[in-house]
Amino acid sequence: MKTLDQSTGSLAGRLTAQLDAWPAVRAGRAGCGVGTGFSPAQRVEAQIVHLHGGDEAELHLTRPVIARLGDALLKSGRVAVTPGGDWVRVRLDTESDVALVMSLASVALQANGSSGTAGQNASISPCHAGSSG
């Protein structure tokens, strides 16, 4: 499924194509109303990736995952972490950024209960585009 107007020649388009190929992921409109959102197939209300434009991806990693990986994510220089938040941002400048987002999407799937069991009762905070900050 090609979502919105992201061409497959762009980094966001390549990321979209790779996420669309995962059977455990479904694409749709981002819950915040801006761009494309990707959800675990078993929990479509729990979006894990948002693409708000051609140059940035946001991932819902959850606070426990960010607490565990936050220092490493920050030290990478590629990931913006908001203190106390559930979402991280990755700027899509290179193919390596696409690979990073795919790796983090796998983490997000697990953290958000791709099987429909983990995190079922957890509420999803708004992404950066859907929040006031």
Question: Which tens digits make up the pLDDT trace of 87-116?
Answer: 999 999 999 999 999 999 999 999 987 554
Tell me the pairing of strands 56-60 and 79-81.
unpaired
CA separation for the pair 35, 47 (Å, rounded): 12
User: What is the chain's mean pLDDT, rounded?
Assistant: 84
Is residue 61 within 8 Å of residue 86, measured between CB atoms?
yes
Among 5, 116, 124, 4, which residue's Cα sits nearest to residue 58?
Answer: 124
Q: What is the pTM assigned to this prediction?
A: 0.83
The class level of CATH for 11-111 reads alpha beta
